[in-house]
Amino acid sequence: MNCPGADDSMAQTCTIIPPTATHSFEAFVELRICLASDVTAVSAFIDDVMRFVARFRARDGGEVDIEIALREAILNAVLHGNREEPGARVFVAIRCSLDGEVLITMRDQGNGFDIRAVPDPIAPGNLMSTSGRGIYLMRACMDEVWFEEGGTVACMRKRSKKVRI
């Protein structure tokens, strides 16, 4: 994902792809945004994304799950991926299909990580740890979570329980 003209602004909208129905693919709307690696920008960014999602997804109770998972993923990208580097960005694509499914893909500019090396936060020795629950929460809240490109890309999917008419 490229974010042309990105400067020091907190977030910049890059592309909105309007709904199209072709062959067997479900129509969707996609928003692509890049976010500066600044923890103070995360809450406002998530508020904007959730307003976008609400426009294309019937309320079915999954909105809170999407918001929690998105917050954890963005914070992981900013804090652990980009290590809060001032010039670094997190690139996010949110795809909402007309059946209410939400697919979120984000890329940080860090070095990635080995998912197998992430400690289990519910293992007895980790229960009192004050961090390390982000990926666990993402997986608990979303229907699918997976990582690509050595951990620099996180993908999450949430299906809708209702069909919007």
Residue 51 covered by a domain? yes
Residue 3 covered by a domain? no
121: domain range?
Answer: 11-17+26-158
Backbone angles phi, psi at 144, to 5 degrees: -145, 140
The partner residues of 156 in beta bridges, in order of sequence, read 104, 145
The span from the CA of 111 to the CA of 103, in Å, is: 23
Residue-wise pLDDT for 40-71, tens only, equals 999 999 999 999 999 988 788 889 999 999 99
Percent of the chain residues topping a pLDDT of 70: 82
pTM greater than the 0.85 cutoff: no
pLDDT higher than threshold 50 for residue 164:
no
Residue 2 covered by a domain? no
pLDDT higher than threshold 70 for residue 2:
no
Residue 152 covered by a domain? yes
> Which CATH number goes with the domain that contains 96?
3.30.565.10
Residue with the bigger pLDDT between 15 and 133: it is 133
Q: Report pLDDT for 47.
A: 96
How many structural domains comprise the chain?
A: 1
Confidence of residue 102 (pLDDT cuts 50, 70, 90): very high
Residue 164 covered by a domain? no
Instruction: Show contacts of 133-140: CB within 8 Å, 24+ apart.
Output: 133/72, 134/72, 134/73, 134/75, 134/76, 135/72, 135/76, 137/68, 137/69, 137/72, 138/69, 138/72, 138/73
Cα distances from 47 to residues 15, 64, 151, in angstroms, run 18, 12, 25
